Amino acid sequence: MSSAAGEHSSPAMGSWPGHAADRPFQRGYTTPPQERRAVADAHSTKLWLSTLLATVDQAVIVMIVIGCAWPVLWTGWHIVVGLTVAGFGVVLLGRQFRALECMAHEASHYNWTRANRRLNDQLATVLSCVPTGSRLDVYRASHLRHHRRFGTRDDPDLANYRQFGLEELDRSGILSFALDSLSRMPAYRRRWKETSGGLGRLPAMPFLWAVVLAIVPAGIVWGSWSAAFAATGVWLLGYGVLLPVVRFLGECNEHIYTGSQTVFDSTISNLGLMSRLFIHPHGDGYHTVHHLWPGVPHHRIRNLHRRLVVNDPEGYTARLRHRTRFLSSPVRGLRPEGRAGR
């Protein structure tokens, strides 16, 4: 999933080797005949499950903000414990907001429900878009252009990769990667603000959501306006600082356009534990399957990946580009005993 979808290409767009500026990349994968029924079945949605997961993600955010509000106000040596607890809470908040963005991404493909598209959009807006400050119709228009015009000058993700040099990030070590990424964050965040669409005339909606569901309740629970003030700080750090970082980490690992000719070859599946749990929640790490079949919802994508690993060893398993460690370069082919994603 790419949340910070840029609308305009950079001046150098189309200069990469093998990049057909006006013709989308070919799919690069043929579904085995014996798997076509399974692929078709994998497109079925479960509205109740998507609604439940987004609701739980919201509830966890609220509990983290309220739970971390009081410890940061402790005095004496207890303040170290309080700030440590709050620090862990802020990190978890970044993950939870990212999870809601992934659910908005699912809704952009009508993967909550295709039986009632209006309900799909209404529920996703309330449960996923309002807390994260995005607008589903604007995001959908940009993201579907990424799928339909993949690899062309109209591909908003390719524009981001070019503008921010995402393929050139220094992955030689944690510190070098962190410094290299941080140098790109100011411009990356500006682009996100310009292109996310916001919530129309209500760009403060995420803050209002936090006030109603977390900040004021924190003051009530702990009986202190100081706790409400602390809850505001915890929320601001999670939403305003950690979420953009987690979003950036997710986007920079999804594709390698250079030298690729097909969607299959230029898409990377991130199958490591940290990626699946923290950076790419709700199945977004199985990005190759997503680009092959965008209509497969989050609750079925992992099983479809595992099925193809077993049943298509030459066409899928041996060719799949993936990484299991965040800083590693992607490799091609899964080992038979390493059916990643289990």
3-state SS track over 239-298 = HHHHHHHHHHHHHCCCECCCCCCEHHHHECEECCHHHHHHHCCCCCCCHHHHHHCCCCCH
Strand 321-323 with 269-270, pairing? parallel
d(CA 196, CA 192): 5
pLDDT at 201: 53
Q: Which of 189, 193, 195 is nearest to 164 (CA)?
A: 189
pLDDT at 220: 94
pTM of the shown model:
0.89
pLDDT at 197: 60
pLDDT at 2: 62
In the predicted structure, residue 342 carries a pLDDT above the cut 70: no
Are residues 157 and 254 in contact, defined by beta-carbon separation less than 8 angstroms? yes
pLDDT at 199: 53
Looking at the chain, the whole-number percentage of residues with pLDDT higher than 90 is: 70
Provide mean pLDDT across the span 317-321. 97
What does the pLDDT look like over 142-201, one tens digit per residue? 899 999 999 999 999 999 899 899 999 999 899 999 999 999 888 888 777 666 665 555
In the predicted structure, residue 236 carries a pLDDT above the cut 80: yes
Provide mean pLDDT across the span 2-26. 53
Looking at the chain, the whole-number percentage of residues with pLDDT higher than 70 is: 88
Domains in the chain: boundaries = 33-332
d(CA 113, CA 225): 41
In the predicted structure, residue 88 carries a pLDDT above the cut 60: yes
Confidence of residue 70 (pLDDT cuts 50, 70, 90): confident
Q: What is the mean pLDDT of the chain?
A: 88
pLDDT at 31: 97
In the predicted structure, residue 211 carries a pLDDT above the cut 70: yes
What does the pLDDT look like over 277-303, one tens digit per residue? 999 999 999 999 999 999 999 999 999
In the predicted structure, residue 203 carries a pLDDT above the cut 70: no
Provide mean pLDDT across the span 14-26. 65
Q: 27-36, 132-141, 328-337 — which one is most confidently predicted on average?
A: 27-36
Q: Who wins on pLDDT, 113 or 11? A: 113
pLDDT at 73: 78
Confidence of residue 99 (pLDDT cuts 50, 70, 90): very high
C-alpha angle 231-178-298 in degrees, rounded to nearest 5: 65
In the predicted structure, residue 239 carries a pLDDT above the cut 50: yes
d(CA 38, CA 311): 11
Confidence of residue 4 (pLDDT cuts 50, 70, 90): very low
Provide mean pLDDT across the span 310-324. 96
d(CA 151, CA 22): 8
User: From residue 269, how far is each of 18, 163, 325, 336 by CA, in Å?
Assistant: 21, 22, 11, 17
User: Which ranges of 129-173 does DSSP label H, i.e. alpha helix?
Assistant: 130-132, 136-148, 156-164
pLDDT at 71: 84
Provide mean pLDDT across the span 5-34. 65
